[in-house]
Chains A and B, each alone.
Chain A
Amino acid sequence: MDITTKNTQAPPPTEPPTATEQKRAARGATRPGDRIFLGLSRGSGILLLAIMAAIAVFLTYRASLAISKDEANFLTTFEWNATALPPKFGIAVLAFGTVVSSIIAMVIAVPIAVAIALFLTHYAPRRLSGPIAYVIDLLAAVPSIVYGLWGALILVPNMVGLFGWLDTYLGWTGIFSWEGGAPRSMLTVGILLAIMILPIVTNVSREVFRQAPQMIEEAALALGATRWEVIRMAVLPFGRSGVISASMLGLGRALGETMAVATVLSPTFDIQTSLLDPGGGTFAQNIASKFGEATEQGRDALIASGLVLFVITLLVNGAARAIIARRKEYSGANA
């Protein structure tokens, strides 16, 4: 962050050149064309850093305005009355709902995505796998609001049967009990999120599995391994870190998804012990739903909750990137 602010203060072309840049300057950056072009492109890069810094700074600033007025504990309060006097609001319910819905999505989507990726790379007839991969690419591009509309109007009514079944046989656990309300609950949200992140997790996993070295697979085959044993010995060990990072990318999407949750969930500001009963909320959904009626103070409170979401997604994505980077080193060492 330090670099960023320093760089934004100095206009790009007059920035003091580093040693390597001086060397480059000696070669040809003395031409006005070169200087302008370098300035423009470096300026764009610095602008990008400045935007990131600005996002962090402004969100933190507005959030601090809101939190300083908050009469309740921002982290643990089960209440969102940001516009009341005195304002009382906390993110406990939102954090819980965001985490729960994302976990449900991961639990459903990751195994299926891995299976589809294996299907495309190792099981499907070759004529089929190309077009299917293409269609999955396209599905990754379907806007989330369309998933949201489909979820609310098609998925929700179709969940009734499943909910009844879960209630009958697993209701005793408490997690799957159902009082018979509309199935606009965390489980439905989780299932919809799973469907939404399926394409991206599948795509990344497929890339990883495709890069598993053919040589090693043949080694396993020549030892008399069945297809599944080849996958276990020669494909999954290579794909493990790739699948983890693919899942994290999917998780990042699920955490920040707004519209699909806003259309499907029927939110309340409390925590439901059952995944089947409607209620709860997520960060993004809460911002979208509460925004319309919020005053400036209410909006600052929503910005504060958005800042928390921002930090969480940064951590998740950072972890995914770190795993990918480590994988690169690993495969490089073995090349």
Chain B
Amino acid sequence: MAKRIDVSGLTAYYSAHKAIEDISMTVEPRSVTAFIGPSGCGKSTFLRTLNRMHEVTPGGRVEGKVLLDDEDLYGHGIDPVSVRREVGMVFQRPNPFPTMSIFDNVAAGLRLNGSYKKTELQDVVEKSLKGANLWNEVKDRLNKPGSGLSGGQQQRLCIARAIAVEPNVLLMDEPCSALDPISTLAIEDLIGELKERFTIVIVTHNMQQAARVSDRTAFFNLSAVGQPGKLIEIDDTERIFSNPSVQATEDYISGRFG
């Protein structure tokens, strides 16, 4: 299920502005890779290039290659819609479809792709909600609107919605930044479980979080405001936080900058 991501020479633009420049890295399957770095360094932009969401922003375009196993996401004839089915995404703020029930939210991605039998749907919804550690909390109110849940529950609902379509990769854009500490802990535990099945990439502002959940960490930085963000280094999380090879990384992690 989980696939490897190979990025080479990736540059992304907002109209004329270059947001990130010449990024190359490999993301291993069944692992958690965290992106850290100061605000505006392009880590979220980079994340969004991995499922072709960047080009949804007006003026957004991308140069370079993103290989999912052996297939280039930006290659000729690739359908961005099918890319997004293979590479799921969880956003900064929980965004369940407010007009749909909890059940329909989880089933939304499946329903897009053709007809399922009701029992099949129920199975998948239950599995996904269990997978997101939400089943016990919502099993009695599957038909209630998703917007009635707490923030942390909503975010786990969004995770359940993303994993219901069995993507190869799960991208998370600061999934805990809008949540309280207890909900954050629940999500972090969940990430630990999900990495058994998915390739996970997570953007975070919280360095402790990166240290807790990730196997590998990538540090992004920009030389000045208005300059494009660059990948400074990527390594095992342990090494990044104990003995980074680049001085800028150490400065950032030890709080001397940023």
Contact = CB atoms under 8 A, between A and B. Distances in A.
Whether A and B touch (Cβ < 8 Å) is answered with yes
Nearest to B147: A334
Interface in A42-78: none
A234 B97 contact: yes
Interface stretch (A32-40, A139-147, A218-226): A218-226
A241 to B, nearest CB: 11
Nearest to B85: A224
A237 B108 CA distance: 14
A216 B109 contact: no
B99 interface: yes
B53 A215 contact: no
A222 B81 contact: no
B202 to A, nearest CB: 15
A223 B165 contact: yes
A215 B90 CA distance: 11
A233 B158 CA distance: 15
B98 A223 contact: no
Given A224-B109, A233-B108, A216 B84 contact: no
B147 A215 contact: no
A215 B93 contact: yes
Contacts, number: 63
A215 B95 CA distance: 6
B108 A223 contact: yes
A229 B97 CA distance: 13
Nearest to A330: B98
B172 to A, nearest CB: 11
A216 B97 contact: yes
B84 A233 contact: no
B67 to A, nearest CB: 19
Contacts of A215: 91, 93, 95
Contacts of A334: 98, 147
Interface residues of A, number: 19
B112 A219 contact: no
Interface in A274-291: none
Interface string B32-64: 000000000000000000010100101000000
A39 B112 CA distance: 61
Q: Helix, strand, loop or mixed for chain A's interface?
A: helix
Contacts of B113: 224
B7 interface: no
Interface in B67-112: 81-85, 88-89, 91, 93, 95-99, 108-109, 112
A126 B60 CA distance: 13
A193 B148 CA distance: 43
A218 B108 contact: no
Interface in A214-267: 215-216, 218-226, 229, 233-234, 237-238
B109 A223 contact: yes
Contacts of B147: 334
Contacts of B53: 218, 221-222
Contacts of A213: 95
A226 B81 CA distance: 6
Given A218-B53, A219-B97, A224-B84, 7 more contacts: A215-B95, A216-B97, A216-B98, A219-B158, A220-B97, A222-B53, A237-B98
6 contacts: A216-B97, A222-B88, A222-B91, A223-B88, A224-B84, A233-B97
